[in-house]
Each structure stands twice: as structure tokens, then as C-alpha cells.
Chain A
Amino acid sequence: MRFSLTSEQQDLREAVRELMQDLCPAAVVRAAEDPYHSSIRTLDIAITALGASGLLVDTAHGGLGLDENYLVPMLIETGRAAAPLPLSETIGVSAGVLTSGGMAEALAAGELSCVADAAGSGLVRYGRADRLLVQGGWGGVGQICVFDLAEAEIVSVPAVDPAGGLTQITGGRPLFTVDDPQVVELAWHRGVLGASAQLLGLSQAMLAMTVGYVTERQQFGTSIGSFQAVKHQLASAAMAVEFAGPAVARAAAALAAGEGAPVVYVSTAKALASDAARQMARTAIQCHGAIGYTTEYDLHLFAKRAWALAADWGSAGWHRDRVATELGLLRSGTAPTH
């Protein structure tokens, strides 16, 4: 038994963290209101240069042949920086799908960037003409269809998260369809896991910002972080984040080992990470006082991304419904749809 990152996973995590510190400060997140901004392109190129796109692609297809135990620490770090790129979609969701469609080499070579729309609603984060759309497979069932978006109609949608690149997509050229239930299920699980990992990173970033702020901020002649009311709120939020972390690691391990029934682990991870991130965002804004309720201060970038990801890939309630069903608890009313 060893419940911890290996030294290689730790190294990857450090490398991504340093890269994010250099190339993805809050100013770059803000710049993402223009999805073609040069700083976003620089960040994208640097992540691709790490071989990230091929992280989960077999070595036979030119990838790194690694597993979800690597994906999670990497996406925790991109989440910590609120990186405004479809990284979980490209690295996690697409790997198996594009391998099925014979495009693994191109993905591993860093030639492709993907966005995802599991629900098939057409509402897509980071939609751009030079990306592929991986659509369908909600809940890990059904079909996934991959589209080339070069000719698609992509309309920017006003959104809460200014750096979330929300778009409405119609059209697009279908490239291929995947029916293999195992591939569809794995793509879903990786999407859910990726969102959970980013939520952890976002939560950790908000916690660090808030600890820093309440220590520095003086009111009533003293640091507000010395007040017990502030301490207790932060301790509670930190505790939620601390206990979500190992659940996400456990889900990654279940997928990496190809365990028979990963649903319970993956859904537990997403439910806990979503709730922790919501609690952290709320606590962070409260403890910052009025400055946290502005867009001039950076906190909102992290909170808004957290809200978006907490609601996507199945809300906490949706995942609890799933686990409840797995535990044999009968539902009396309507199932949550998302």
C-alpha cells in the first residue's frame, strides 16, 4: 500500500506548476477574453511541448503511454492557474476517442486541440475553428461523434466565467463516430475526473489567496485572519478541500488500474470536489470582503471557473444520484438530468 504520488508524478506536477507560474499568471487568464490572444498561444505551445497531449496515448502511437495517476496532478496544477485552455478535453477526454478514430498520432504529436460537449447541447467551452469537437457520451453511454470545426458556426456566448471561452456551436464536419461502450465510458470518466482535478487546483488557489489576504488585511487595528470567525470558516473550507483530494486520487487509481466498477470512485470524486470548490469559493469571497466582490481583484476568475466546472460533467447531486443507485438505494422521484 502506498497512497501517494510517485516521484515521476511529483516531478510532472512540479514541471507543470512552474510552467503555469511562468506563463499563466492571472493576466493571461484575463487575456483569454480574446481566445486568439498571443499569450494564450504561447501557453498552449509550452504545454504541448511537455508532451501533454499524448499523456494518455499509447507509446506505439507516439504518446507517453501514461495513466490517470499522472493526469490528475497535471490538471490540479492547470486548475490552480485557472488555465484558459481545453486541456482536460484534449489530454483526457479525447485520448481514447481519437485513438479509436485513427488520429492518435496527430494528437500525440501536439497537432490537435479538442473541446468537448458530452451533453450534446452545443454549448461548448473554448470553441474555436481550429479545434475538434468531441460530442456525446453523457453519463458514459451512447455514442461519441467527433467534428472538425473549421466550417462550423461558432458564436461566442456571454458567460459568468470571462475566461471560460463559452460558445454555441452548430454544424461542423463529422469525422467519425465511436460506438465502443468501453471507449465512450472511459472518455466520460476522464472528463469527470479532469473536472474534479481542476476543481481541486482552483480550490487550493482560492485558499492560498484568502489566507494571504486575511493575514495582510488590517481592520480594528489587527489582521482579520486573527479573528476566530474568519479562522473557523477557512478551516472548514480547507477541510472540505483536504478530504476531496484523496478521493480524486482514488478515482484516478481506479481508472489507471482498469478496476471493474470505477463509477462509484469517479462520481464520489466529482461530488466531493464540486462541493468543496463551491464552499471554498463562497468562503473566499466572504473572507475577502468587498474587494473579493470586484472584477479588478483576481479571485473572481478562480471562483467563476469553479462554478462552471462544478456544474459541468455532472453536478454533485447528479453524481450522488449515481452512487446512490450503485448502492442500491431506490429513487422515488425524478432523476437529476445534469
Chain B
Amino acid sequence: MDLSYTPAEEAFREQARTWLSTNVPSEPLPSGDTKDGFAAHLEWERTLHEDRWSVVSWPRAYGGRDASIWEWLIFEEEYYRAGAPQRVTQNGIFLLAPTLFEFGTKEQQDALLPRMAAAQDLWCQGWSEPGAGSDLAAISSRAVRDEDAGGWRLSGQKTWTTRGAFCTHMFGLFRTDPQAQRHRGLTYFLVPLDTPGVTVRGFERLDGDEGFAEVFLSDVFVPDSAVLGGVDQGWSVAMATTGSERGLTLRSPGRFLETADRLVALASSNSDDLTDTLRDRITKHWMQAQAYQNFTLAQVTDIVEKRQVGARSSLNKVFWSELDINLHEAALELLGPMGQSDNPWSRGFQFSLAGPIYAGTNEIQRNIIAERVLGLPRK
């Protein structure tokens, strides 16, 4: 065990902390899942980018700092500690970019990554469909070859697309081989949402924000260069980076450490309402946040030393998503009737309920843990 960071890593932390303390907006921004709030968040994303803080782990050529995975963790810790805004660009940066780095051509990387880092292109994820949620392989949106035009014609419907109404681009899976079943015959496409034939309709999430969208595609032409990672290879291309979504990169421990500390502070300042039962519960969840931090440090050590994390990322996903709800529920119990108002805890609570659903429901994750971590039989 070596729990110390190198002087260079400590210097990186100091630099991040200093920059955040002078640049994080003093007033919280309106929700990034509303039209006005999204615009305010874009300003913030551009501020981050100007000083190379939007994509710290990326190569310098694409706007990053070549930060190591440890430095990335440090940045996340400082980011949440500073109370900095939600990242409305996260689905591009954390979900698409790792796939682009692994499967993209040099041309695709050069064309897309710098604009993504600068929040010029805003990406949403087009995976779910009305008939394909947890069962993602049931995708029926299709892409038909247009040999003459040198590309593909996309048709179908995507839904529950986070911030789809505010984004400029979508990455999604489409069936390119109509004869193939399930996971086979899918292709990963990159689609500008201003292409003729695309219709986007925003709709409200549970918390009342217009953070969801349906994306309708009717004979939408995209060129061959819109294919990421090979025709009919979409499933393995998409799955190669689901580990990022379920595990580390979507939800780093910094986020939950901050929420847990904020909960403890709330309990301290409301000690008249703090029963011993609630005190016990809050402490339990605070401990779980520490446990997530330690688990992550062990996991990053594994990644650095080239030991496969694989299906173990499902452990992260179930743990953090349920912890997030528990932290918020405890806060609301402490607040009592005050918790009814629209406040950061009630907002956070509503948002936390999405955690066990997105990126593969926790029911699916528990199947994955049982089958692929513990080795239980599929059938």
C-alpha cells in the first residue's frame, strides 16, 4: 500500500484547486437539463476548455492535459469539492470519446475530439428505443446501404435520450444486417442532428426538467465516415466502453464523498432533528462513500497494473447508484416537511432515482455480477 501521491500529482491537485476556486460560479447555475440552464452550462464548459480543464485525461493535441488516471481522479475530487456545475457534455466526453480513442480513425478523432472538448459539438447517446431498454440487443432502428451515395440511410426511433433536445450530435446503434439477430448485425453511427430527416422532441423527466428527448429518424443519409469501428461490429464497439459508463468515468468517488460530507454537515447543523436512528444511518452511508473511494483506488491500481476490471464495473454501478439514493433519502428525512420544496436535496433525490435505471438497470447489473463475476449459470 502506498497511499501517497507524487509531488507532481500533488502539484496538479493544487493547480486544479486554485483554478476551480477562482472560476467556479459563486451562484449555482440553473439546471443543465433545461433550455436556459443548458446555455449557462455551455458557457461554463467553454470556460473549462479555455484553460484545458474540460478533458484533463485527453492528449494535449485535443485540448487535454495528458493527465494520468490518478490525476483524473484527483481532478474529479477537487471538482466536486469545489461545488462545480454538472457536466452537460459528459455523454460525449465520458461515453463516446473512449470509444473514439479505441476504434475511431485518425480522421474521425481529429475531426470530432477537439470540437467535443470545446463544447462546440454536443453529443447525446442514441441507444435506447421504445422496444429496447435494458434489452439493448432488441434494437430495431435500421441503416440501409446507399451504394450510389456512398453511405447509409437511417430510420427508426430513439428515446429517453438525455439532453437530446439540446445536443447537436448523436452516437447510436442501428441494425445494418436485417437478417442478423440480436447482438449481430448492428453498427455504431455518428449522426449530426441537423441532418434532414431527423426530428427531435424533448420531454420531461421525473423531476420536471425537459432533460429527455425522442429522436425520430426518417431516411436520414450519413456518409461512410459516420461509421465508428466497422460495419456490423456495433455491439462489440459499444460494449468495449460500457465499463466506463458503469464504473469509473461516469461516477467517480469524488461526487459521493462530497454528497456524504454535505449530508454530515446538514445533520450537524440540524442536530435538533437528528435522532440516533438517523445518525446511525447517515454514518453508515458516509462509511459507504469512503468504501467506494477505497474500492476505486484498488480498482485504478488494477487498471494501471493491467489487471482486467471487466464485469466488475457492474459492482461499482450498483453500489454507487444505491448509495446515491440512500444519501439523499437520509437528507430528506432529516429535512422533514422542508424537504418538499424544490431544493438541492429534493432535486438530487429525484435525479438519484435514475441511477439504478440508466447504463443498464441494476437488475441487469446483478445478473452480470452473478454470472460474470461469481460464475453462476446463465440458464
Contacts and interface: CB of A to CB of B under 8 A. Distances in A.
A242 B2 CA distance: 20
B181 interface: no
A257 B371 contact: no
Interface string B315-338: 100110000000000000000000
B3 A1 contact: yes
Contacts of B2: 1-2
Interface in A293-338: 317, 320-321, 323-324, 327-333
Interface residues of B, number: 50
Given A2-B301, A3-B297, A242-B295, A234 B370 contact: yes
A284 interface: no
B1 A238 contact: no
A207 to B, nearest CB: 8
Nearest to B323: A243
B12 interface: no
**Which of A223, A320, A321 has most B Cβ within 10 Å?**
A320
A46 to B, nearest CB: 28
B276 A4 contact: no
A243 B274 contact: no
B333 to A, nearest CB: 14
A316 to B, nearest CB: 8
Interface residues of A, number: 51
Nearest to B314: A235
A329 B267 contact: yes
Interface in B360-379: 363, 365-367, 369-371, 373-379
B284 interface: yes
Contacts of B53: none
A247 B276 contact: no
B291 to A, nearest CB: 4
B279 A250 contact: no
B271 interface: yes
Nearest to A9: B1
A76 interface: no
Interface stretch (A57-65, A153-161, A225-233): A225-233
Contact of A238 (B280, B295, B300, B374): B374
Nearest to B287: A268
B275 interface: yes
Contact of B376 (A211, A253, A332): A211
B286 interface: yes
A256 interface: yes
Given A214-B376, A232-B370, A4 B284 contact: no
A323 B287 contact: yes
A213 B291 CA distance: 29
Contact of A246 (B264, B287, B295): B295
A320 B287 contact: yes
**Which of A5, A222, A234 has most B Cβ within 10 Å?**
A234
Contact of A231 (B1, B274, B301, B367): B367
Given A239-B318, A246-B297, A253-B3, A226 B287 contact: no
Contacts, number: 154
B283 A4 contact: no
A239 B323 CA distance: 12
A146 interface: no
A215 interface: yes
B371 A231 contact: yes
A245 B5 CA distance: 22
A247 B3 CA distance: 13
A69 interface: yes
Interface in B288-320: 288, 290-292, 294-295, 297-298, 300-302, 305, 315, 318-319
A38 interface: no
B295 A243 contact: yes
Interface string A254-269: 0011000000000010
A239 B311 CA distance: 13
A246 B291 CA distance: 7
B297 to A, nearest CB: 4
Contacts of B165: none
A271 B282 CA distance: 13
B294 A231 contact: no
B268 interface: yes
Contacts of A243: 288, 291-292, 295, 315, 319
A249 interface: yes
B287 A272 contact: yes
B287 A247 contact: yes
Given A232-B367, A243-B288, 12 more contacts: A1-B2, A215-B375, A225-B376, A225-B377, A234-B370, A235-B318, A246-B291, A323-B287, A324-B279, A330-B271, A331-B276, A332-B275
9 contacts: A4-B298, A226-B378, A226-B379, A239-B315, A243-B319, A320-B284, A321-B283, A327-B283, A329-B264
